[in-house]
A and B are shown apart, each in its own frame.
Chain A
Amino acid sequence: MLNRNDILETIKMIEEEHLDIRTVTMGISLLSCAGSDADEVCEKVYQKITKAAKDLVPVAEEISVRYGIPIINKRISVTPASLVMRSDKPEDYVKLAKALDRAALDTGVNFIGGFSALVHKGMTKSEEAMISSIPEALAVTERVCSSVNVGTTKAGINMDAVAMMGRIVKETAERTKDRDGFGCAKLVVFCNSVEDNPFMAGAYHGVGEAEYIINVGVSGPGVVKCALEKVKGEDFEVVAETIKKTAFKITRMGQLVAREASKRLGVPFGIVDLSLAPTPAVGDSVAHILEEMGLEQCGTHGTTAALALLNDAVKKGGIMASSFVGGLSGAFIPVSEDAGMIDAARAGTLSLDKLEAMTCVCSVGLDMICIPGDTTAETVAAIIADEAAIGMINQKTTAVRVIPAPGKKVGDTVEFGGLLGTGPVMAVNNKKSTDFIARGGRIPAPVHSFKN
Protein backbone atom coordinates (compact mmCIF):
# COMPACT_ATOMS: atom_id res chain seq x y z
CA MET A 1 0.00 0.00 0.00
CA LEU A 2 0.98 3.61 -0.29
CA ASN A 3 3.07 5.13 2.45
CA ARG A 4 0.91 6.36 5.31
CA ASN A 5 2.95 9.52 5.88
CA ASP A 6 2.79 10.45 2.21
CA ILE A 7 -0.99 10.17 2.25
CA LEU A 8 -1.30 12.25 5.41
CA GLU A 9 1.12 14.86 4.06
CA THR A 10 -0.99 15.30 0.93
CA ILE A 11 -4.20 15.61 2.91
CA LYS A 12 -2.64 18.16 5.23
CA MET A 13 -1.42 20.18 2.23
CA ILE A 14 -4.93 20.34 0.81
CA GLU A 15 -6.92 20.79 4.03
CA GLU A 16 -4.65 23.05 6.06
CA GLU A 17 -2.09 24.61 3.73
CA HIS A 18 -4.33 25.80 0.87
CA LEU A 19 -2.86 23.56 -1.81
CA ASP A 20 -5.01 23.81 -4.89
CA ILE A 21 -5.11 23.82 -8.64
CA ARG A 22 -5.39 27.53 -9.24
CA THR A 23 -6.66 27.29 -12.80
CA VAL A 24 -7.44 24.94 -15.63
CA THR A 25 -7.24 27.15 -18.68
CA MET A 26 -8.36 26.08 -22.13
CA GLY A 27 -6.56 27.80 -24.99
CA ILE A 28 -8.68 28.26 -28.10
CA SER A 29 -7.39 29.56 -31.42
CA LEU A 30 -9.72 32.09 -32.99
CA LEU A 31 -7.73 32.47 -36.19
CA SER A 32 -10.40 30.49 -38.03
CA CYS A 33 -12.92 33.21 -37.07
CA ALA A 34 -10.79 36.06 -38.40
CA GLY A 35 -12.37 38.68 -40.59
CA SER A 36 -13.30 42.32 -40.88
CA ASP A 37 -17.08 42.22 -40.52
CA ALA A 38 -17.61 42.83 -36.81
CA ASP A 39 -20.98 41.09 -36.44
CA GLU A 40 -19.86 38.06 -38.40
CA VAL A 41 -16.60 37.71 -36.45
CA CYS A 42 -18.41 38.07 -33.11
CA GLU A 43 -20.91 35.35 -34.01
CA LYS A 44 -18.17 32.96 -35.16
CA VAL A 45 -16.11 33.66 -32.03
CA TYR A 46 -19.07 33.05 -29.72
CA GLN A 47 -19.97 29.81 -31.50
CA LYS A 48 -16.43 28.46 -31.53
CA ILE A 49 -15.74 29.16 -27.86
CA THR A 50 -19.04 27.88 -26.52
CA LYS A 51 -18.73 24.69 -28.59
CA ALA A 52 -15.09 24.01 -27.68
CA ALA A 53 -15.39 24.80 -23.97
CA LYS A 54 -18.86 23.49 -23.20
CA ASP A 55 -17.50 20.62 -21.09
CA LEU A 56 -14.61 22.51 -19.50
CA VAL A 57 -16.33 23.42 -16.22
CA PRO A 58 -18.15 20.08 -15.61
CA VAL A 59 -15.00 18.08 -16.45
CA ALA A 60 -12.87 20.20 -14.11
CA GLU A 61 -15.44 19.63 -11.36
CA GLU A 62 -15.40 15.87 -11.92
CA ILE A 63 -11.62 15.81 -11.69
CA SER A 64 -11.78 17.87 -8.52
CA VAL A 65 -13.98 15.18 -6.92
CA ARG A 66 -11.89 12.27 -8.27
CA TYR A 67 -8.70 13.52 -6.65
CA GLY A 68 -10.20 15.50 -3.79
CA ILE A 69 -8.30 18.62 -4.89
CA PRO A 70 -9.98 22.01 -5.17
CA ILE A 71 -9.81 23.45 -8.69
CA ILE A 72 -10.42 27.12 -8.02
CA ASN A 73 -10.78 28.63 -11.48
CA LYS A 74 -11.79 27.44 -14.91
CA ARG A 75 -10.73 29.86 -17.62
CA ILE A 76 -10.33 30.36 -21.35
CA SER A 77 -7.56 32.06 -23.29
CA VAL A 78 -7.98 33.02 -26.93
CA THR A 79 -5.94 34.36 -29.85
CA PRO A 80 -5.11 38.08 -29.40
CA ALA A 81 -8.23 40.03 -30.39
CA SER A 82 -6.26 42.38 -32.64
CA LEU A 83 -5.43 39.42 -34.91
CA VAL A 84 -8.97 38.06 -34.95
CA MET A 85 -10.69 41.20 -36.20
CA ARG A 86 -9.34 43.63 -38.73
CA SER A 87 -10.93 47.00 -38.19
CA ASP A 88 -9.91 50.59 -37.58
CA LYS A 89 -13.00 51.26 -35.48
CA PRO A 90 -12.62 50.83 -31.69
CA GLU A 91 -16.36 50.16 -31.37
CA ASP A 92 -15.94 46.96 -33.40
CA TYR A 93 -13.52 45.69 -30.77
CA VAL A 94 -15.93 46.59 -27.98
CA LYS A 95 -18.44 44.33 -29.76
CA LEU A 96 -15.85 41.58 -29.84
CA ALA A 97 -15.17 42.03 -26.11
CA LYS A 98 -18.89 41.69 -25.43
CA ALA A 99 -19.03 38.49 -27.50
CA LEU A 100 -16.10 37.09 -25.49
CA ASP A 101 -17.84 38.07 -22.26
CA ARG A 102 -21.04 36.32 -23.34
CA ALA A 103 -19.10 33.19 -24.31
CA ALA A 104 -17.39 33.19 -20.90
CA LEU A 105 -20.71 33.56 -19.09
CA ASP A 106 -22.35 30.76 -21.08
CA THR A 107 -19.48 28.31 -20.59
CA GLY A 108 -19.33 29.09 -16.85
CA VAL A 109 -15.70 30.26 -16.73
CA ASN A 110 -14.81 33.20 -14.50
CA PHE A 111 -12.35 34.93 -16.86
CA ILE A 112 -11.49 34.91 -20.54
CA GLY A 113 -8.09 36.28 -21.59
CA GLY A 114 -6.91 37.40 -24.98
CA PHE A 115 -8.35 40.86 -25.51
CA SER A 116 -4.77 41.50 -26.43
CA ALA A 117 -2.32 43.03 -28.85
CA LEU A 118 1.36 42.37 -29.51
CA VAL A 119 2.89 45.69 -30.47
CA HIS A 120 6.49 45.40 -29.28
CA LYS A 121 7.92 46.69 -32.55
CA GLY A 122 5.09 48.56 -34.18
CA MET A 123 1.35 48.94 -34.31
CA THR A 124 -1.06 48.16 -37.13
CA LYS A 125 -4.27 50.16 -37.61
CA SER A 126 -6.24 47.23 -36.13
CA GLU A 127 -3.99 47.09 -33.09
CA GLU A 128 -4.32 50.82 -32.55
CA ALA A 129 -8.11 50.58 -32.71
CA MET A 130 -8.15 47.55 -30.43
CA ILE A 131 -5.96 49.20 -27.80
CA SER A 132 -8.07 52.39 -27.97
CA SER A 133 -11.14 50.27 -27.21
CA ILE A 134 -9.71 48.76 -23.99
CA PRO A 135 -11.13 51.29 -21.47
CA GLU A 136 -14.65 50.95 -22.87
CA ALA A 137 -14.34 47.17 -23.35
CA LEU A 138 -13.23 46.59 -19.75
CA ALA A 139 -15.92 48.91 -18.41
CA VAL A 140 -18.79 47.16 -20.19
CA THR A 141 -17.68 43.55 -19.65
CA GLU A 142 -17.18 41.50 -16.48
CA ARG A 143 -14.97 38.56 -17.43
CA VAL A 144 -12.76 39.83 -20.24
CA CYS A 145 -9.06 40.30 -19.49
CA SER A 146 -6.77 42.39 -21.62
CA SER A 147 -3.02 42.47 -22.16
CA VAL A 148 -0.66 44.39 -24.41
CA ASN A 149 2.94 43.40 -25.13
CA VAL A 150 5.07 46.53 -25.57
CA GLY A 151 8.59 45.10 -25.65
CA THR A 152 10.74 42.04 -26.20
CA THR A 153 14.40 41.23 -25.74
CA LYS A 154 14.74 40.69 -29.49
CA ALA A 155 12.83 43.78 -30.66
CA GLY A 156 13.42 46.39 -27.95
CA ILE A 157 10.67 48.56 -26.45
CA ASN A 158 8.00 50.35 -28.45
CA MET A 159 7.90 53.64 -26.53
CA ASP A 160 4.94 54.93 -28.54
CA ALA A 161 2.97 51.93 -27.29
CA VAL A 162 4.28 52.54 -23.74
CA ALA A 163 3.06 56.17 -23.86
CA MET A 164 -0.29 55.03 -25.22
CA MET A 165 -0.67 52.38 -22.49
CA GLY A 166 -0.03 55.05 -19.84
CA ARG A 167 -3.07 56.89 -21.17
CA ILE A 168 -5.12 53.68 -21.58
CA VAL A 169 -4.48 52.61 -17.97
CA LYS A 170 -5.59 56.04 -16.73
CA GLU A 171 -8.66 56.04 -18.94
CA THR A 172 -9.58 52.49 -17.86
CA ALA A 173 -9.41 53.59 -14.22
CA GLU A 174 -11.54 56.62 -15.01
CA ARG A 175 -14.16 54.55 -16.88
CA THR A 176 -14.50 52.24 -13.86
CA LYS A 177 -14.16 54.90 -11.15
CA ASP A 178 -17.38 53.83 -9.44
CA ARG A 179 -15.47 50.64 -8.57
CA ASP A 180 -12.17 52.34 -7.67
CA GLY A 181 -10.65 51.72 -11.10
CA PHE A 182 -11.41 48.00 -11.07
CA GLY A 183 -10.99 47.80 -14.87
CA CYS A 184 -7.22 48.13 -14.40
CA ALA A 185 -7.17 44.85 -12.46
CA LYS A 186 -8.06 43.17 -15.76
CA LEU A 187 -5.34 44.91 -17.81
CA VAL A 188 -1.65 43.95 -18.00
CA VAL A 189 1.17 45.57 -19.93
CA PHE A 190 3.91 43.05 -20.77
CA CYS A 191 7.46 42.80 -21.96
CA ASN A 192 8.33 39.32 -23.32
CA SER A 193 4.80 38.00 -22.79
CA VAL A 194 4.39 34.23 -23.08
CA GLU A 195 1.97 32.39 -25.37
CA ASP A 196 0.90 29.63 -22.97
CA ASN A 197 0.36 31.43 -19.67
CA PRO A 198 -2.78 30.06 -17.96
CA PHE A 199 -2.98 32.85 -15.34
CA MET A 200 -5.06 36.00 -15.65
CA ALA A 201 -5.12 38.80 -16.48
CA GLY A 202 -2.26 38.09 -18.89
CA ALA A 203 -3.38 34.85 -20.54
CA TYR A 204 -3.77 34.66 -24.30
CA HIS A 205 -3.50 31.84 -26.84
CA GLY A 206 -0.39 32.55 -28.90
CA VAL A 207 -0.22 32.17 -32.67
CA GLY A 208 2.38 29.41 -32.26
CA GLU A 209 -0.14 27.28 -30.36
CA ALA A 210 -2.42 24.45 -31.54
CA GLU A 211 -6.15 24.81 -32.27
CA TYR A 212 -7.02 23.87 -28.67
CA ILE A 213 -4.85 23.25 -25.64
CA ILE A 214 -5.17 22.63 -21.90
CA ASN A 215 -2.80 24.51 -19.60
CA VAL A 216 -2.88 24.14 -15.84
CA GLY A 217 -1.70 26.58 -13.20
CA VAL A 218 -0.79 25.17 -9.78
CA SER A 219 -0.31 27.18 -6.64
CA GLY A 220 0.67 26.58 -3.06
CA PRO A 221 2.51 29.33 -1.17
CA GLY A 222 1.06 27.94 2.07
CA VAL A 223 2.61 24.53 1.47
CA VAL A 224 6.07 26.03 0.89
CA LYS A 225 5.74 28.19 4.01
CA CYS A 226 4.77 25.18 6.16
CA ALA A 227 7.64 23.12 4.72
CA LEU A 228 10.08 25.90 5.63
CA GLU A 229 8.72 26.11 9.18
CA LYS A 230 10.20 22.66 9.72
CA VAL A 231 13.76 23.78 8.81
CA LYS A 232 14.06 26.92 10.97
CA GLY A 233 17.64 28.15 11.32
CA GLU A 234 19.08 25.75 8.74
CA ASP A 235 21.35 27.15 6.02
CA PHE A 236 20.26 28.13 2.51
CA GLU A 237 21.20 24.81 0.97
CA VAL A 238 18.54 23.19 3.14
CA VAL A 239 16.07 26.00 2.37
CA ALA A 240 16.55 25.60 -1.40
CA GLU A 241 16.29 21.80 -1.21
CA THR A 242 13.11 22.00 0.86
CA ILE A 243 11.46 24.37 -1.62
CA LYS A 244 12.55 22.22 -4.57
CA LYS A 245 11.08 19.06 -3.09
CA THR A 246 7.82 20.80 -2.20
CA ALA A 247 7.57 22.35 -5.68
CA PHE A 248 8.13 18.90 -7.17
CA LYS A 249 5.16 17.42 -5.33
CA ILE A 250 2.87 20.32 -6.13
CA THR A 251 3.76 20.21 -9.81
CA ARG A 252 3.16 16.46 -10.00
CA MET A 253 -0.36 17.12 -8.83
CA GLY A 254 -0.76 19.73 -11.59
CA GLN A 255 0.58 17.32 -14.17
CA LEU A 256 -1.89 14.66 -13.06
CA VAL A 257 -4.83 17.05 -13.33
CA ALA A 258 -3.64 18.43 -16.67
CA ARG A 259 -3.29 14.95 -18.18
CA GLU A 260 -6.69 13.88 -16.90
CA ALA A 261 -8.38 17.07 -18.17
CA SER A 262 -6.68 16.68 -21.53
CA LYS A 263 -7.85 13.05 -21.81
CA ARG A 264 -11.43 13.76 -20.81
CA LEU A 265 -11.81 16.81 -23.02
CA GLY A 266 -9.97 15.31 -25.97
CA VAL A 267 -7.72 18.34 -26.11
CA PRO A 268 -3.89 18.17 -26.10
CA PHE A 269 -2.04 18.90 -22.86
CA GLY A 270 0.05 22.05 -23.17
CA ILE A 271 1.97 22.95 -20.04
CA VAL A 272 1.87 23.07 -16.28
CA ASP A 273 2.62 26.51 -14.92
CA LEU A 274 3.98 26.22 -11.42
CA SER A 275 3.55 29.67 -10.01
CA LEU A 276 3.30 30.41 -6.33
CA ALA A 277 0.21 32.57 -6.66
CA PRO A 278 -0.92 34.01 -3.34
CA THR A 279 -4.50 34.72 -2.30
CA PRO A 280 -5.62 37.14 0.41
CA ALA A 281 -6.44 34.15 2.65
CA VAL A 282 -4.30 33.78 5.76
CA GLY A 283 -1.64 31.13 5.18
CA ASP A 284 -1.50 31.61 1.41
CA SER A 285 1.09 34.39 1.13
CA VAL A 286 4.38 34.61 -0.77
CA ALA A 287 5.51 37.45 1.54
CA HIS A 288 5.17 35.09 4.51
CA ILE A 289 7.52 32.59 2.82
CA LEU A 290 10.16 35.33 2.55
CA GLU A 291 9.55 36.25 6.18
CA GLU A 292 9.86 32.58 7.17
CA MET A 293 13.37 32.69 5.70
CA GLY A 294 14.29 35.20 8.39
CA LEU A 295 13.14 38.65 7.32
CA GLU A 296 11.21 40.67 9.90
CA GLN A 297 8.91 41.93 7.17
CA CYS A 298 8.74 41.56 3.41
CA GLY A 299 10.36 44.56 1.73
CA THR A 300 13.29 44.97 4.09
CA HIS A 301 16.92 44.42 3.02
CA GLY A 302 17.42 40.83 1.95
CA THR A 303 13.98 40.51 0.35
CA THR A 304 15.32 40.43 -3.21
CA ALA A 305 17.82 37.69 -2.36
CA ALA A 306 15.16 35.63 -0.59
CA LEU A 307 12.81 35.97 -3.55
CA ALA A 308 15.58 35.04 -6.02
CA LEU A 309 16.23 31.82 -4.13
CA LEU A 310 12.51 31.03 -3.89
CA ASN A 311 11.80 31.70 -7.56
CA ASP A 312 14.70 29.59 -8.76
CA ALA A 313 14.11 26.67 -6.40
CA VAL A 314 10.43 26.55 -7.42
CA LYS A 315 11.44 26.28 -11.08
CA LYS A 316 14.03 23.58 -10.38
CA GLY A 317 11.53 21.41 -8.49
CA GLY A 318 8.79 21.99 -11.04
CA ILE A 319 10.83 21.26 -14.15
CA MET A 320 11.69 17.78 -12.94
CA ALA A 321 8.08 17.02 -12.07
CA SER A 322 6.32 17.78 -15.34
CA SER A 323 7.05 16.78 -18.90
CA PHE A 324 6.17 20.31 -20.03
CA VAL A 325 6.61 23.27 -17.74
CA GLY A 326 5.73 26.62 -19.23
CA GLY A 327 3.81 29.81 -18.70
CA LEU A 328 5.35 32.09 -16.13
CA SER A 329 6.48 29.46 -13.57
CA GLY A 330 8.01 31.03 -10.47
CA ALA A 331 6.69 33.28 -7.72
CA PHE A 332 4.05 35.98 -8.18
CA ILE A 333 4.09 39.12 -6.06
CA PRO A 334 0.66 40.73 -6.51
CA VAL A 335 0.43 43.20 -3.63
CA SER A 336 -3.36 43.36 -3.12
CA GLU A 337 -3.70 39.56 -3.32
CA ASP A 338 -1.15 38.71 -0.64
CA ALA A 339 -1.90 39.22 3.07
CA GLY A 340 1.80 39.65 3.91
CA MET A 341 2.43 42.15 1.11
CA ILE A 342 -0.63 44.17 2.14
CA ASP A 343 0.69 44.42 5.71
CA ALA A 344 4.19 45.29 4.50
CA ALA A 345 2.89 48.01 2.16
CA ARG A 346 0.70 49.46 4.94
CA ALA A 347 3.61 49.50 7.36
CA GLY A 348 5.77 51.31 4.78
CA THR A 349 8.30 48.45 4.70
CA LEU A 350 7.44 47.61 1.11
CA SER A 351 7.79 50.43 -1.41
CA LEU A 352 7.24 50.61 -5.15
CA ASP A 353 11.02 50.89 -5.64
CA LYS A 354 11.64 47.70 -3.67
CA LEU A 355 8.92 45.93 -5.63
CA GLU A 356 10.64 47.01 -8.84
CA ALA A 357 13.88 45.43 -7.62
CA MET A 358 11.98 42.27 -6.68
CA THR A 359 10.58 42.02 -10.21
CA CYS A 360 14.13 41.48 -11.50
CA VAL A 361 14.12 38.06 -9.83
CA CYS A 362 10.45 37.04 -9.59
CA SER A 363 8.42 35.47 -12.35
CA VAL A 364 6.46 38.51 -13.49
CA GLY A 365 6.33 42.14 -12.45
CA LEU A 366 4.61 45.00 -10.69
CA ASP A 367 1.29 43.35 -10.02
CA MET A 368 -1.95 44.58 -8.47
CA ILE A 369 -0.48 47.75 -7.05
CA CYS A 370 -2.78 50.65 -6.24
CA ILE A 371 -1.27 54.07 -6.87
CA PRO A 372 -2.74 57.53 -6.23
CA GLY A 373 -5.59 58.58 -8.52
CA ASP A 374 -3.81 61.78 -9.52
CA THR A 375 -0.79 59.91 -10.95
CA THR A 376 -0.34 61.21 -14.51
CA ALA A 377 -0.52 59.06 -17.64
CA GLU A 378 3.13 59.90 -18.28
CA THR A 379 4.18 58.59 -14.86
CA VAL A 380 2.22 55.38 -15.43
CA ALA A 381 3.95 55.08 -18.83
CA ALA A 382 7.34 55.65 -17.21
CA ILE A 383 6.61 52.89 -14.65
CA ILE A 384 5.76 50.61 -17.59
CA ALA A 385 8.97 51.63 -19.39
CA ASP A 386 11.12 50.81 -16.34
CA GLU A 387 9.52 47.39 -15.97
CA ALA A 388 9.80 46.65 -19.70
CA ALA A 389 13.49 47.60 -19.57
CA ILE A 390 14.09 45.07 -16.77
CA GLY A 391 12.39 42.37 -18.84
CA MET A 392 14.15 43.30 -22.05
CA ILE A 393 17.65 43.34 -20.56
CA ASN A 394 17.19 40.25 -18.37
CA GLN A 395 15.40 38.18 -21.03
CA LYS A 396 12.45 37.54 -18.77
CA THR A 397 8.76 38.32 -18.71
CA THR A 398 7.88 41.48 -16.84
CA ALA A 399 4.49 43.08 -16.49
CA VAL A 400 2.71 46.06 -15.03
CA ARG A 401 -0.76 45.87 -13.57
CA VAL A 402 -1.23 49.08 -11.59
CA ILE A 403 -4.49 50.68 -10.53
CA PRO A 404 -4.45 54.50 -10.37
CA ALA A 405 -7.53 54.49 -8.14
CA PRO A 406 -9.58 57.62 -8.90
CA GLY A 407 -9.85 60.00 -5.95
CA LYS A 408 -7.60 57.87 -3.73
CA LYS A 409 -4.36 59.02 -2.17
CA VAL A 410 -1.42 57.41 -0.38
CA GLY A 411 -2.60 55.64 2.77
CA ASP A 412 -6.13 54.98 1.44
CA THR A 413 -7.29 51.45 0.79
CA VAL A 414 -9.01 49.99 -2.24
CA GLU A 415 -11.27 46.95 -1.78
CA PHE A 416 -11.56 44.70 -4.82
CA GLY A 417 -12.95 41.69 -3.00
CA GLY A 418 -12.52 38.00 -3.74
CA LEU A 419 -9.19 36.77 -5.06
CA LEU A 420 -8.19 40.31 -6.06
CA GLY A 421 -8.07 41.37 -2.42
CA THR A 422 -7.39 44.73 -0.82
CA GLY A 423 -4.88 47.27 -2.05
CA PRO A 424 -3.20 49.92 0.09
CA VAL A 425 -2.48 52.94 -2.15
CA MET A 426 1.30 53.19 -2.55
CA ALA A 427 3.37 56.29 -3.23
CA VAL A 428 4.91 56.99 -6.63
CA ASN A 429 7.81 59.35 -7.26
CA ASN A 430 6.35 62.83 -7.74
CA LYS A 431 9.00 64.17 -10.11
CA LYS A 432 7.79 64.26 -13.71
CA SER A 433 8.82 61.93 -16.56
CA THR A 434 6.72 63.82 -19.09
CA ASP A 435 9.47 64.89 -21.52
CA PHE A 436 10.98 61.40 -21.45
CA ILE A 437 7.70 59.78 -22.48
CA ALA A 438 6.94 62.52 -25.04
CA ARG A 439 10.01 61.53 -27.10
CA GLY A 440 8.32 58.44 -28.53
CA GLY A 441 9.97 56.03 -30.97
CA ARG A 442 11.66 52.80 -29.97
CA ILE A 443 14.33 51.77 -27.50
CA PRO A 444 16.62 49.52 -29.58
CA ALA A 445 17.01 45.82 -28.75
CA PRO A 446 19.90 45.14 -26.38
CA VAL A 447 23.16 43.43 -27.25
CA HIS A 448 23.12 39.73 -26.34
CA SER A 449 26.73 39.34 -25.40
CA PHE A 450 29.00 41.30 -23.00
CA LYS A 451 26.76 40.33 -20.12
CA ASN A 452 28.54 41.79 -17.11
Chain B
Amino acid sequence: MRAVITVVGKDRTGIIAKVSTYLAEKEINILDISQTIMQDLFTMMMLVDTKDSGVQAKELSDALKALGEEMGLSINMQHEELFSSMHRV
Protein backbone atom coordinates (compact mmCIF):
# COMPACT_ATOMS: atom_id res chain seq x y z
CA MET B 1 0.00 0.00 0.00
CA ARG B 2 0.97 3.62 -0.42
CA ALA B 3 1.06 5.23 2.97
CA VAL B 4 1.90 8.58 4.48
CA ILE B 5 4.31 8.56 7.41
CA THR B 6 4.31 11.71 9.52
CA VAL B 7 6.90 12.53 12.12
CA VAL B 8 6.18 15.45 14.44
CA GLY B 9 8.09 16.59 17.50
CA LYS B 10 11.09 18.40 18.93
CA ASP B 11 13.94 18.70 16.44
CA ARG B 12 17.19 16.80 17.03
CA THR B 13 19.91 15.29 14.91
CA GLY B 14 19.39 12.03 13.11
CA ILE B 15 15.63 11.84 12.91
CA ILE B 16 15.50 11.32 9.17
CA ALA B 17 18.44 8.93 9.34
CA LYS B 18 16.77 6.74 11.96
CA VAL B 19 13.40 6.60 10.28
CA SER B 20 14.78 5.98 6.80
CA THR B 21 17.21 3.34 8.05
CA TYR B 22 14.30 1.47 9.62
CA LEU B 23 12.28 1.75 6.40
CA ALA B 24 15.22 0.50 4.30
CA GLU B 25 15.67 -2.50 6.59
CA LYS B 26 12.03 -3.40 6.04
CA GLU B 27 12.24 -2.95 2.25
CA ILE B 28 9.94 0.04 2.25
CA ASN B 29 10.49 2.41 -0.63
CA ILE B 30 10.33 6.19 -0.05
CA LEU B 31 8.51 7.90 -2.95
CA ASP B 32 8.47 11.45 -1.68
CA ILE B 33 9.77 13.24 1.37
CA SER B 34 9.43 16.75 2.76
CA GLN B 35 10.58 18.27 5.98
CA THR B 36 10.16 21.62 7.67
CA ILE B 37 9.98 23.34 11.03
CA MET B 38 6.42 24.43 11.81
CA GLN B 39 5.62 26.34 15.01
CA ASP B 40 8.99 25.23 16.45
CA LEU B 41 8.18 21.61 15.71
CA PHE B 42 10.06 19.33 13.41
CA THR B 43 7.55 18.06 10.85
CA MET B 44 8.42 15.42 8.31
CA MET B 45 6.15 13.72 5.84
CA MET B 46 6.98 10.76 3.67
CA LEU B 47 5.01 9.01 1.00
CA VAL B 48 6.08 5.37 1.03
CA ASP B 49 5.28 2.18 -0.82
CA THR B 50 5.13 -0.98 1.27
CA LYS B 51 4.44 -3.48 -1.50
CA ASP B 52 7.91 -5.09 -1.37
CA SER B 53 7.90 -5.32 2.39
CA GLY B 54 6.78 -8.55 3.97
CA VAL B 55 5.88 -6.78 7.21
CA GLN B 56 2.19 -6.54 8.19
CA ALA B 57 0.64 -3.09 8.51
CA LYS B 58 -0.02 -3.55 12.23
CA GLU B 59 3.53 -4.56 13.01
CA LEU B 60 4.88 -1.68 10.93
CA SER B 61 2.62 0.88 12.54
CA ASP B 62 3.49 -0.37 16.07
CA ALA B 63 7.23 -0.39 15.29
CA LEU B 64 7.12 3.19 13.97
CA LYS B 65 5.20 4.34 17.04
CA ALA B 66 7.79 2.69 19.28
CA LEU B 67 10.62 4.28 17.29
CA GLY B 68 8.89 7.64 17.76
CA GLU B 69 8.59 7.17 21.51
CA GLU B 70 12.26 6.30 21.70
CA MET B 71 13.13 9.65 20.11
CA GLY B 72 10.40 11.65 21.89
CA LEU B 73 8.45 12.14 18.66
CA SER B 74 5.05 11.21 17.36
CA ILE B 75 5.17 8.95 14.30
CA ASN B 76 2.04 7.88 12.44
CA MET B 77 1.49 5.80 9.35
CA GLN B 78 -1.76 6.00 7.44
CA HIS B 79 -2.96 4.88 4.05
CA GLU B 80 -2.76 7.70 1.52
CA GLU B 81 -6.49 7.33 0.66
CA LEU B 82 -7.47 8.76 4.05
CA PHE B 83 -6.10 12.20 3.21
CA SER B 84 -7.25 12.32 -0.38
CA SER B 85 -10.79 11.31 0.54
CA MET B 86 -11.06 13.79 3.43
CA HIS B 87 -9.61 16.80 1.68
CA ARG B 88 -10.54 16.44 -1.98
CA VAL B 89 -14.04 16.65 -3.42
Partner-B contacts on A (CB < 8 A): 1-4, 6-11, 15, 62, 65-69, 249, 252-253, 255-256
Docked complex Cα distance between A252 and B83 (Å): 10
Closest to B38 in A: A8
Q: Output the residue of A3, A65, A253 with the most chain B CB within 10 A.
A: A65
B84 to chain A, nearest CB (A): 7
B87: A residues at CB distance < 8 A: 2-3, 6, 9-10, 249
Docked complex Cα distance between A15 and B84 (Å): 19
Docked complex Cα distance between A18 and B38 (Å): 22
- Residue B17 at the chain A interface, CB threshold 8 Å: no
A-B interface, 6 closest residue pairs, ranked by CB to CB distance from nearest: A68-B78, A6-B87, A67-B82, A256-B85, A1-B32, A249-B86
Interface flags for B38-80 (1: CB within 8 Å of A; 0: not) read 1000010101000000000110010000000000001011111
- Residue B13 at the chain A interface, CB threshold 8 Å: no
A4: B residues at CB distance < 8 A: 34, 36, 43, 45
A253: B residues at CB distance < 8 A: 82, 85-86
A15 CB contact (under 8 Å) in B38, B57, B74: B74
Partner-A contacts on B (CB < 8 A): 1, 4, 6, 8, 32, 34, 36, 38, 43, 45, 47, 57-58, 61, 74, 76-87
B12 to chain A, nearest CB (A): 20
Cross-chain contact B85 with A10 (CB below 8 angstroms): no
A69: B residues at CB distance < 8 A: 78, 82
A243 to chain B, nearest CB (A): 16
The SS class assigned to the A binding surface is: helix
Docked complex Cα distance between A69 and B81 (Å): 12
B76 to chain A, nearest CB (A): 5
B84: A residues at CB distance < 8 A: 2
A252: B residues at CB distance < 8 A: 85-86
Docked complex Cα distance between A2 and B45 (Å): 10
A68 to chain B, nearest CB (A): 4
Cross-chain contact B57 with A66 (CB below 8 angstroms): yes
A66 CB contact (under 8 Å) in B6, B74, B79: B79
Docked complex Cα distance between A117 and B48 (Å): 51
B57: A residues at CB distance < 8 A: 62, 65-66
Cross-chain contact A68 with B80 (CB below 8 angstroms): no
The SS class assigned to the B binding surface is: strand
Cross-chain contact A67 with B86 (CB below 8 angstroms): no
A9: B residues at CB distance < 8 A: 87
Docked complex Cα distance between A395 and B82 (Å): 36
Q: Contacts A15-B74, A65-B57; is A1 near B34 (CB within 8 Å)? A: yes
A67: B residues at CB distance < 8 A: 78-79, 81-82
Q: Output the residue of B74, B78, B81, B84 with the most chain A CB within 10 A.
A: B78
A261 to chain B, nearest CB (A): 14
Cross-chain contact B83 with A8 (CB below 8 angstroms): no
A8: B residues at CB distance < 8 A: 6, 8, 38, 43
B36: A residues at CB distance < 8 A: 4
Cross-chain contact A10 with B86 (CB below 8 angstroms): yes
Q: Output the residue of B1, B32, B47, B85 with the most chain A CB within 10 A.
A: B85
A59 to chain B, nearest CB (A): 13
B82: A residues at CB distance < 8 A: 10, 67-69, 253, 256
Docked complex Cα distance between A20 and B69 (Å): 22
Docked complex Cα distance between A7 and B61 (Å): 17
B34: A residues at CB distance < 8 A: 1, 4
Docked complex Cα distance between A173 and B43 (Å): 53
A66: B residues at CB distance < 8 A: 1, 57, 78-79
Docked complex Cα distance between A168 and B76 (Å): 49
B43: A residues at CB distance < 8 A: 4, 8
A15: B residues at CB distance < 8 A: 74, 76
Cross-chain contact A68 with B85 (CB below 8 angstroms): no
B4: A residues at CB distance < 8 A: 2, 7
A61 to chain B, nearest CB (A): 8
A227 to chain B, nearest CB (A): 13
